[in-house]
Amino acid sequence: MNAIPRVYVLDDDEQMRKVLSRQLQADYDVMCFDTARHFLEVIPALASGCLILDVHMPEINGLDVLRRLAERNLHFPTIMITGQGEVSVAVQAMKAGAIDFVEKPFTRETILDCIRLAQEHLTPAGAGYENAELAKTRLGRLSAREQQVLTGLVAGLPNKTIAYDLGLSPRTVEVHRAKIMKKMEVTSLSALVRRALAAGIPGRF
């Protein structure tokens, strides 16, 4: 019998740790940590698994945790938890190596979908990762204006800012965004960002 997949939760919010434990314990072996320092101290001895990581924590924040894991060459596919309106932070996290991000509040189904995606990155090297050539092919479907809008989205800019920078109305940006999602064959902003980064979108104008 295979062992139950391990999921680590790193969040200083006790209520959030309890919620995630309750949502995931039926399907995963959940281990919670309330400080980044403790997690980083013990992580070399931990079994492989996915990490659910909060952005905002005292002393060492989520982005710093990702950087320290990368520096130590420790591979824990990470889902970043962000507050509403923190897309720019989420994009930074994905560029730092996070697999996905989810905005609060989220449903059990949403976090389970994120974990399934992260688990694909636990397979041997290369498996489960966004195919760069396929992403570039889909990027090629976009018009020049849609690519400009996508660059703004990947930079974490709100629709109003993208509209101002490009001399468009916010409504027009929303229309472009819907078309971009369809052409890139994604259904969430996190998937769009992941695919755009794989295609080489730099995340700045």
Sorted by where each begins, the domain ranges of the chain are 6-120, 132-199
Q: Which pLDDT does position 175 carry in this prediction?
A: 94
Cα 73–Cα 77–Cα 80 angle in degrees, nearest 5: 115
Residue 123 has pLDDT above 70, yes or no: no
* 132-199 carries CATH number 2.60.40.10: no
Task: Give the pLDDT band of residue 111 (cuts 50, 70, 90).
Answer: very high
For 163, residues 6+ apart whose C-beta sits below 8 A from its C-beta are 169, 170, 172, 173
State pTM to two decimals: 0.72
Please give the backbone phi and psi of residue 135, each rounded to the nearest 5 degrees, phi first.
Answer: -65, -40
The span from the CA of 177 to the CA of 46, in Å, is 41
Residue with tokens 């079994």: 47
pLDDT per residue as tens digits for the range 7-28: 999 999 999 999 999 999 888 9
Fold type of domain 6-120: Rossmann fold (3.40.50)
Q: Which pLDDT does position 202 carry in this prediction?
A: 64
Residue with tokens 């101002």: 164
pLDDT per residue as tens digits for the range 26-85: 889 999 999 999 999 998 888 889 999 998 888 899 999 999 998 888 889 999 998 766
pLDDT per residue as tens digits for the range 155-193: 778 889 999 999 999 999 999 999 999 999 887 777 788
Q: Which pLDDT does position 45 carry in this prediction?
A: 84
What is the helix, strand, coil percentage profile of the chain, to 5? Answer: 50, 10, 35
